[in-house]
């Protein structure tokens, strides 16, 4: 015998389970790209390259190839630059706040050398406060921020690649 409270609880649980779908929410799945193979030309020591390779392994319909001649499209890195600028000083003149920047410029070509995406630059910024007492921790935080920016660049890059019209 079900009670009214038990039925009410079930209805509320069902409503809670269905609510995210009703508002248009859906989990982000693998990015669908309009090509099957891609070659990525990255500079030596690139921070974006490993994040891009991971994203291509996770992509459902595309494969990162080792040679440009085997690819439907070629991603050319024009510039990948890390910058650090002091934006705030303490009363003693020591750096207290830094701005970290990652500039990534690229373009995309098809197999016939037609330019699909003209030269495009992505610029990401993160602020970092500094402290003499926590110098090692701040170095680790800086490295973490750059890793996050690399991942953000790849996400933005994938959105642009997904929008390519061939």
Contact, 83 vs 101, CB < 8 A?
yes
Give the model's pLDDT for residue 18: 66
pLDDT digits (tens, 9 = 90+) for 118-162: 999 999 999 998 876 777 788 899 999 999 999 999 999 999 999
Residues (pLDDT < 50) of the chain are 27
Q: What angle do CA 57, 122, 59 make, to 5 degrees?
A: 15
Say whether 98 sits in a helix, a strand or coil.
Answer: strand
Contact, 37 vs 31, CB < 8 A?
no
Q: What region does 102 belong to: left with phi over 0, alpha with psi -120 to 50, or beta?
A: beta
Q: Which helix (H) or strand (E) segment is 39 a member of?
A: strand 37-41
83 Cα distance to chain centroid: 18
> What pTM value is reported for the model?
0.76
Q: Which helix (H) or strand (E) segment is 50 a member of?
A: helix 48-58
Contact, 43 vs 77, CB < 8 A?
yes
Give the model's pLDDT for residue 122: 97
């Amino acid at each position: 015998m079900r009670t009214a409270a038990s039925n009410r609880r079930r209805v509320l649980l069902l409503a809670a389970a269905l609510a995210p779908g009703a508002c248009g929410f859906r989990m982000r799945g693998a990015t669908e790209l309009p090509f099957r193979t891609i070659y990525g030309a990255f500079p030596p020591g690139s921070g974006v390259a490993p994040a891009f390779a991971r994203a291509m392994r996770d992509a459902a319909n595309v494969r990162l190839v080792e040679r440009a001649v085997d690819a439907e499209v070629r991603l050319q890195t024009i510039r990948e630059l890390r910058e650090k600028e002091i934006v705030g000083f303490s009363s003693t003149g020591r750096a207290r706040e830094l701005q970290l920047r990652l500039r990534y410029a690229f373009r995309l070509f098809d197999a016939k050398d037609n330019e699909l995406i003209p030269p495009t630059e992505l610029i990401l910024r993160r602020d970092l406060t500094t402290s003499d007492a926590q110098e090692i921790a701040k170095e680790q935080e800086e490295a973490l921020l750059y890793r996050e920016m690399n991942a953000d660049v790849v996400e933005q890059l994938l959105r642009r690649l997904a929008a390519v019209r061939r």
